Amino acid sequence: MSASKPGVFLNRETSWLEFNRRALEEAQDPQNPLLERLRFYCIFHANLDEFFMVRVASLHRMIEVGDNHPDPSGLTPPQQLDLIFNRVREAYEASGTLYSSELVPALAKEKIVIRAPGQLKPAQEKYVDEYFEKEIYPVLTPIAVNVPQPFPRLQGLTFNLAVLLQWESEKNGEPCLAVIQVPGKLPGLLRLPDIHALEMFWMSDAIRRRLSDLFPGYCLLEAAGFRLARDSELELDEDDRCDYVGMLESSLKKRRNAKPIRIEHEPMSPELLGRLQTAMEVEDQALFFTHGPLDPRPLLSIVDMPGYEHLRYRLQPPLLRPELEAEQNIFALLRDRDILLHHPYDSFDPVLQFIQAAADDPDVLAVKQTLYRTSGKGSPVVNSLIRAAENGKQVTVLVELTARFDEERNINWARDLEVAGAHVLYGLAGLKVHAKIALIVRREPAGISRYVHLGTGNYNERTARLYTDFGLLTAAEEFGSDASAFFNTITGYSEPPPFNRLVMAPTGMREKIIRLIRREADWACTGQTSEILAKMNSLVDPQIIQELCAAGKAGVKIHLNVRGICCLRPGVPGVSDNIRVISILDRYLEHSRAFVFSNGGSPEVYLSSADCMPRNLNRRVELMFPLQQADLKERVIRILRAQMTDNQKARILKQNGSYEKVAAGRSEPFRAQERLYLQAREERERVRIMTPVRFVPIEGSD
């Protein structure tokens, strides 16, 4: 196939770095409210941390086991690492400059002051010193590094100080190296007493001020901060062709675990840096110098500090869908029509109420649900499920324990569910369950009814305010019976059946998507209208990319809205010139996945929990579902088109793999996330006005 020629594929890692650069761009954008810029700055770094721990670590593993296969774009693992390191170095430069010469001064103007070490007022100095003596000093443990012994195991992502010392009595002796780990229990930023402004001081600076207290009898030559990132050690990266962690011999594994993937450091002398590097056995390219804070995570405490509303996005409280306004029984409502929710414009509350109603409704027989990432203990969804089980309903919950970094949080409330009598499944062997579905079985006078919620996002009311996601509430028979069959499949009660409506990965979703793309190409060949609108977080899967290119070549107009990684290079003449790719980064994290196929004039609309990545289509249980109701299809198409017209926060992917903001030109500024909220509000108002006022006289008793 011509699409497989190097050229149409972009390297996945550099595409991800481009995505993160867009996050940094939002931090740089002076149009954005200051604290939101600071948030994007933090997100940029948090993303980068995970990228190193997962992706860079994975490339290292490939190299170590001698896998030198090039990726679809033709780059071998060492070539990819070189590219990554070069780009990341540039990004550090930009982010450091942004922090020190833009964000910090701008914050100071708003009376949010982060004091530099030499700038403390006398009262503050006193406060810091007292704090040091009472709170910090007792928990610090300096560790001497002696070369024949292994380097102390330092926790990843925390701030450490490297100190070069010399005995005061032995001024000519060899300087020795010591390390101080700043315990995670201490706040990263210390709030200073002040009545006029919010004044903060970095904990690391507080320690630095009193370093000599820690090394009595020594002469301090130099002290500088550094921070490590390690291989996350979990086989997090499911896209790899094999289990590299499993392949490594245990002795090798131990050594690599000790060895950091990355060291970020403050300015330090070549001698100190050299000694650190030798002690930890890392190569030059793993060293990253930054003049911003090494660990920016404490800055998030400022971002969410109460007050300062003028420095954040204007509040857009989620709205209740007008159909749900009348506050009638949700089950009764769904008997007549499906309801589509678009979070966070539409409130997530109806979903919570849906599960809650199931828990308390005496006619509900069973509740079944998948839970991937919830808000953890105290989650209203989990509480409802526990209550449902206590109320004697058959409750089946599939808890995905391998959801990244969430394991601990998951396990406790899962136990609570079990104690309440629910049937809890902890995932499937070899497959991560990423589908988002809830099923309620209810006994009604007319017989058994089934109510289903299907979504593109997690059952997490907190992220539902920050991520854009679609959800469908339906009582349609085909969905009900498919939902039952889905749960029978994942509980192992039954083999996967042929579904009526649902499309499931890894059994059939890839094939279905390909069939839909090819059908669109067939329409194009017969000269009919043919168009694909698709929105997702990542487009990586080579087969899907090739199919899209083939459809584009057949004449299908393809508009892709891919928030993160996109390995399809658009605009390659004769290959992908019919494909346009945009990415929107704005206040809400774009997270919904939707596919529209114009299908010769009778459009089909699918929503999905899956991205077009090999791991989603091959090794995860995912669900894609079609919208049946015409008005709902139209609404999704309208939303997708609105996003395609964004000229404020949308970037267009260029042929060279870089992104640039869509030029608004003379057209009116159009910011999709803002516009969609306004539209949701208008729609609600319209319905309110149209609802006739009822005059109900209150009669007094005679």
Partner 1 sequence: MTASPNLLMAAIDIGSSAIRMDIAEMRPGGVIRILESLKKGVQLGRDAFTEGHLSQETIRAACEALRDFKKAMDAYGVMRYRAVATSAVRESSNSETFLDRLLTSTGLDVEIIDGPEENRLTLSAIMDSLRGESDLGKAKSLLVEVGGGSTDVALLTGGELQQSATFPLGSFRLRAEVSAGAVRHEQQIRLFKRQIAGFLSNIKRELEISDAQHYIAVGGDVRFAARMLDRSSQQKRLSFIAADAFSEFVNSLSLLTVDGLVQKYSIPYLDGETLVPALLTYLQLLKETQAKEIIVSDASIRAGILQDLAPAEKGKRLKKLAVQILSAARSLGRKYHYEGDHAERVREISVRLFDELRAEQHMTETHRLYLEVAALLHDIGLFVGSRSHHKHSYYLISSSELFGLRKPELELIANIARYHRRALPQRSHVPFMALERDERTAVSKLAAILRIANALDKDRLQQFTDLKVSREDDQIVLISENVPDLAMARLALAGRSDFFREIFGKKIILREAAKTQ
**Catalytic site positions:** 434
Q: Judged by CB under 8 A, which stretch of 11-19, 70-78, 173-181, 502-510 contacts partner 1?
A: 502-510
Q: Which residues contact 189 (CB under 8 A, 6 or more apart)?
A: 114, 200, 201, 202, 203, 298, 299, 301, 302
Q: Which of 177, 245, 485, 607 binds partner 1 (CB under 8 A)?
A: 485
Q: Which residues contact 622 (CB under 8 A, 6 or more apart)?
A: 434, 435, 504, 505, 506, 509, 608, 609, 610, 616
Q: Judged by CB under 8 A, which stretch of 203-211, 506-514, 560-568, 610-618 contacts partner 1?
A: 506-514
Q: Is 493 in the site for partner 1 (CB under 8 A)?
A: yes
Q: Which residues contact 476 (CB under 8 A, 6 or more apart)?
A: 338, 452, 501, 628
Q: Judged by CB under 8 A, which stretch of 7-15, 156-164, 261-269, 486-494 contacts partner 1?
A: 486-494
Least CB distance from residue 368 to partner 1, whole Å?
9
Cα 502 from chain centroid (whole Å): 25
CA distance 658 to 665: 20
Q: What DSSP element (H or E) covers 206?
A: helix 203-209
Q: Is 574 in the site for partner 1 (CB under 8 A)?
A: no
Q: Which is nearer to partner 1, 394 or 402 (CB)?
A: 394
Least CB distance from residue 416 to partner 1, whole Å?
21
Burial (CB count <10 Å: 0-12, 13-18, 19+), residue 466: middle
Q: Which is nearer to partner 1, 412 or 494 (CB)?
A: 494
Least CB distance from residue 591 to partner 1, whole Å?
28
Least CB distance from residue 649 to partner 1, whole Å?
40
- Identify which of 257, 688, 615, 676 has the alpha carbon closest to the alpha carbon of residue 469: 676
Q: Is 484 in the site for partner 1 (CB under 8 A)?
A: yes
Q: Which is nearer to partner 1, 495 or 668 (CB)?
A: 495
Cα four-point dihedral sign 168, 169, 172, 176: negative
Q: Is 543 in the site for partner 1 (CB under 8 A)?
A: no
Q: Is 619 helix (H, G, I), strand (E, B) or coil?
A: coil
Burial (CB count <10 Å: 0-12, 13-18, 19+), residue 216: exposed
Burial (CB count <10 Å: 0-12, 13-18, 19+), residue 322: middle
Q: Which of 222, 271, 360, 363 binds partner 1 (CB under 8 A)?
A: 363
Q: Is 366 in the site for partner 1 (CB under 8 A)?
A: yes
Number of residues in contact with partner 1 under rule CB under 8 A:
29
Q: Is 497 in the site for partner 1 (CB under 8 A)?
A: yes
Q: Which of 508, 555, 571, 657 binds partner 1 (CB under 8 A)?
A: 508
Query: Residue 514 corresponds to which tokens in the numbers above?
Result: 């390909």
Least CB distance from residue 394 to partner 1, whole Å?
4
Least CB distance from residue 447 to partner 1, whole Å?
4
Least CB distance from residue 363 to partner 1, whole Å?
5
Binders of partner 1 in range 408-447 (CB under 8 A): 423, 441, 443-447
For the window 386-405, what string marks contact with partner 1 as x by the rule CB under 8 A? --------x-----------
Q: Which is nearer to partner 1, 141 or 494 (CB)?
A: 494
| Identity of residue 262 | R
CA distance 195 to 166: 42
CA distance 607 to 627: 8
- Identify which of 613, 441, 465 has the alpha carbon closest to the alpha carbon of residue 542: 613
Q: Is 488 in the site for partner 1 (CB under 8 A)?
A: yes
Q: Judged by CB under 8 A, which stretch of 338-346, 402-410, 503-511, 678-686 contacts partner 1?
A: 503-511
CA distance 175 to 170: 10
Residues near partner 1, by CB under 8 A: 362-363, 365-366, 394, 423, 441, 443-448, 478, 481, 484-485, 488, 491-495, 497-498, 500, 506-508
